[in-house]
Copies of this chain bind each other. A is one copy, B any other.
């Protein structure tokens, strides 16, 4: 199949959506991104790379990073992680505190904000310098030393981070945060502020398409079994409140971020990253979801 042709077709088709979504504006650092960006990249497990659009332009990966910290925490803690955070779908807004009260401080899954805060807390308890550890891991898997934390975004998040502070304090009141609130929020704000481009992202996530081993670095990032399990979590929890709709339309494990990035996994075959800053009402990239839907329709590449 000629993936380059397919990407170029998609590029034309989704550009018409630009202007119909809304760039995330809850922090100024994100609101300033030009809304007409579109990029898409494919990285196959056998080493081919295809891309269209601004695939070399870095953006704030935001919640896409939650799948990377989850990978680290699962590697460090193994199944003990599941005493601290559930693996169930949430059925509520991604930052809902209601569920958390009902479940006594245990977030439903590691890919909603509350769950990612617990994951950050776990990493802090597991390594000497959580922020360095995360950055080093991502740089290595992206094979790109230019990957960095965007400190303007970090500061912007911190300044407007009252809801995340509420979540962290709330969980700590139930005993489900072990480190200082400030430290947990700091690690969380940093990994959400990772600045990467589409090619970086596709490369970084290859281990999830290849049984836990990166075909680029040769690293065994995680066991084959855990790689499958992370994919299952992405499919059931990765797309905010649109998990069912995305599974229905696209049918791939994926993780989305409010910066407009999405990474999708085709197990055994490839990773696909897409970026377009305008979001739909669920907080997923409008053009990005459409691009992935077109891709699976054109190629038949869904897991179903």
A positions within 8 Å CB-CB of B: 86-92, 96-99, 101-102, 108-109, 162-163, 165-170, 172-173, 181, 225, 227-229, 231-233, 235-237, 241-245, 247-248, 251, 253, 267, 297, 302-304
CA distance A109 to B247 in the complex (A): 13
A-B CB contact pairs (8 Å), 9 listed: A87-B245, A97-B101, A98-B101, A163-B169, A166-B166, A232-B244, A232-B247, A233-B248, A235-B247
Q: A162 contacts which chain B residues (CB < 8 A)?
A: 169-170, 172-173, 181
For this chain, the copies found in one complex come to 4
Instruction: Tell me if B89 and A302 are in contact (CB < 8 A).
Output: no
Chain B nearest CB from A128 CB (Å) reads 26
Contact indicator A303/B89 (Cβ below 8 Å): no
The 7 A-B residue pairs whose C-beta atoms are closest, nearest first, are A91-B91, A166-B170, A162-B173, A166-B169, A231-B304, A89-B89, A163-B173
A267 partner residues in chain B, CB cutoff 8 A: 303-304
Contacts of A229 in B (CB 8 A): 248, 251, 304
Residues of B within 8 A of A90 (CB): 89, 91
Q: Which of B88, B165, B244, B304 has a CB less than 8 Å from the CB of A109? A: B244
Q: B88 near A244 (CB under 8 angstroms)? A: yes
Nearest residue, chain B, Cβ from A267 = B304
Most B C-beta atoms less than 10 A away, residue of A96, A102, A229: A229
Chain B contacts of A88 at CB under 8 A? 91, 241-245
Measured between alpha carbons, how far is A5 from B173 in the docked complex, in Å?
A: 45
Verify A233–B228 contact, CB threshold 8 A: no
Cα(A108)–Cα(B90), bound, Å: 12
How distant is the Cα of A156 from the Cα of B173 in the complex, in angstroms? Answer: 14
- B97 and A91: CB pair below 8 A? no
Minimal beta-carbon separation of A158 from chain B (angstroms):
12
